[in-house]
A = this chain, B = another copy of it.
């Protein structure tokens, strides 16, 4: 059985998902596309034999030949399309953010709860990365005792001059926030932002690096260090300090080269190189779930939590003081496996 997927938004990330669905993964095909830029949508559709072109996301969602939907459009449009998918009873994969405001996220939660079943998966791909999965598995095995602190380093080689400090908190740190909630199995109750010495090469308007501290409900403290102009590579670091040990992400270089007085390994150049396979796994698991008539992975609740924590972080940065995170009661729908991904990790480190 092949899942017929409709894709809303065919920019860089949308096109990458189309490539993945078409040439890499098993069990799916792209049945329809649309985009705010119809010309771009047309070009993409032309390259996909048998794929329809729709004028709006709404049309695509309602198309009976579309089994499930990928939302990869501009963030502020996510709410509308996710709600439409829920209304249409179709599984939807929504790139982060789930929605850009607390209220929008809550409307999605309300709709999904009313529907009585999970239909939304949010694209937090780090949960599908082998290294993070193995870290979570090892943590769950209890070999280092309870987690006490978590360090999450997020280093980008560079960002466009348009990126703002708020943008780093909302678009970059959102991955560290989600992975912290998931790894530590606890919600964020408070955030605080510190501003270290600025990198000389950062744009004038940008506080870079940033130190975002998260206090979790279980008292674990998370230090998110975001540095987005490090030049040397795309370097994602993580270490859990547990009661009797630590777990850290290993370097990912495949070979070690010795020359000119050094032994060395490669640091990934960008997020594609680092997380290519996590995206593949994330999508394959979603396709398999859809084919089985269910959702999987990060839920609307996870998307809601991420948006609230990003909001709090933005406030904390503005005020310089700690900003609390206040969430509504967690609906039963998200209770079991809400922060899980619906699939057991495949077990290697």
**B-binding residues in A (CB < 8 A):** 22-27, 130-131, 134-135, 138, 143-149, 151, 155, 194, 196-201, 209, 211, 213, 216, 218-221, 223, 225, 227, 229-233, 235, 241, 243-269, 273, 277, 284, 288, 348-349
Which residues of the other chain, B, contact A235 by a CB distance below 8 angstroms?
246, 258
Which residues of the other chain, B, contact A138 by a CB distance below 8 angstroms?
255, 257
* Top 8 A-B pairs, shortest CB-CB distance: A245-B259, A264-B264, A197-B219, A131-B254, A196-B221, A231-B244, A262-B264, A266-B349
A23 to B287, CA, bound (A): 11
**A260 vs chain B, min Cβ distance (A):** 6
Task: Determine the residue in chain B with the shortest Cβ distance to A258.
Answer: B246
A269 to B262, CA, bound (A): 10
Task: Determine the residue in chain B with the shortest Cβ distance to A277.
Answer: B277
A144 to B260, CA, bound (A): 9
**A67 vs chain B, min Cβ distance (A):** 17
Which residues of the other chain, B, contact A246 by a CB distance below 8 angstroms?
230, 232, 235, 257-259
Q: Other CB < 8 Å A-B pairs besides A131-B255, A230-B246, 12 of them?
A: A23-B27, A135-B254, A143-B257, A196-B219, A198-B219, A209-B241, A230-B243, A235-B246, A250-B253, A263-B265, A264-B265, A266-B348
Q: B225 to A245, Cβ gap below 8 A? A: no
Given contacts A231-B244, A253-B250, A349-B254, contact A145 B261 (CB under 8 A): no
Which residues of the other chain, B, contact A24 by a CB distance below 8 angstroms?
25-26, 284
Which residues of the other chain, B, contact A216 by a CB distance below 8 angstroms?
197
- The listed residue (B131, B257, B288) touching A245 by CB distance below 8 A is B257
A81 to B198, CA, bound (A): 44
Given contacts A148-B199, A194-B213, contact A267 B257 (CB under 8 A): no
- The listed residue (B146, B230, B255, B260) touching A200 by CB distance below 8 A is B146
Task: Determine the residue in chain B with the shortest Cβ distance to A246.
Answer: B258
Counting chain B CB atoms within 10 Å of each CB, which of A27, A216, A257 scores highest? A257
Q: A135 to B349, Cβ gap below 8 A? A: no
A149 to B196, CA, bound (A): 7
**A28 vs chain B, min Cβ distance (A):** 9
Which residues of the other chain, B, contact A209 by a CB distance below 8 angstroms?
148-149, 241
A232 to B130, CA, bound (A): 22
**A50 vs chain B, min Cβ distance (A):** 11
Which residues of the other chain, B, contact A220 by a CB distance below 8 angstroms?
196-197
A145 to B232, CA, bound (A): 11
Q: B243 to A247, Cβ gap below 8 A? A: no
Counting chain B CB atoms within 10 Å of each CB, which of A131, A194, A201, A230 scores highest? A230
**A69 vs chain B, min Cβ distance (A):** 20
A-B contact pairs, 23 of them (CB 8 A): A23-B26, A24-B25, A25-B26, A135-B255, A138-B257, A144-B258, A145-B199, A146-B199, A148-B198, A155-B241, A194-B221, A197-B218, A200-B243, A201-B244, A231-B244, A231-B245, A233-B258, A235-B246, A247-B256, A248-B258, A255-B349, A262-B264, A264-B265
